Amino acid sequence: MKRAILTISLLFMAFSASAGVLSCDDLKAKIEKKVAGKGVKDYPMVVVSKDTQIKGRVLGSCDKGTMKIIHQKSKVPKSNEATSSGS
């Protein structure tokens, strides 16, 4: 009886651990939805290998830790700087 309970417990833990892993597309969509809910319109993200060296903030890892999602800040010039320099 103890052996059966132990086996069921181990199977349950293994299943619950694998069920929590998201694919990169699912995780990226979840992050995009969360960011859009806060009113942010342009939030560039890129999915890269975990070994890739790239500037940006790591938002999460996916595909069992083999990939990561990075937020790359885009520099947008302020509209006042572009138009007021000649005045």
Give the pLDDT of residue 74.
Answer: 67
Give the pLDDT of residue 10.
Answer: 55
Give the pLDDT of residue 16.
Answer: 44
Which one, of 47, 51, 50, 49, lies nearest residue 72 by Cα? Answer: 47
Asked whether 66 and 50 are in contact (CB, 8 A), the reply is: yes
Going along the chain, which residue ranges are E strands? Answer: 45-49, 57-62, 67-71
Tens-binned pLDDT, residue by residue, of the chain (87 aa): 666 565 565 555 555 445 456 789 999 999 889 988 888 888 889 999 999 998 888 998 888 889 999 998 766 545 554 444 454
The tokens for 18 are 């694998």
Q: What is the pTM of this model?
A: 0.59
Give the pLDDT of residue 49.
Answer: 94
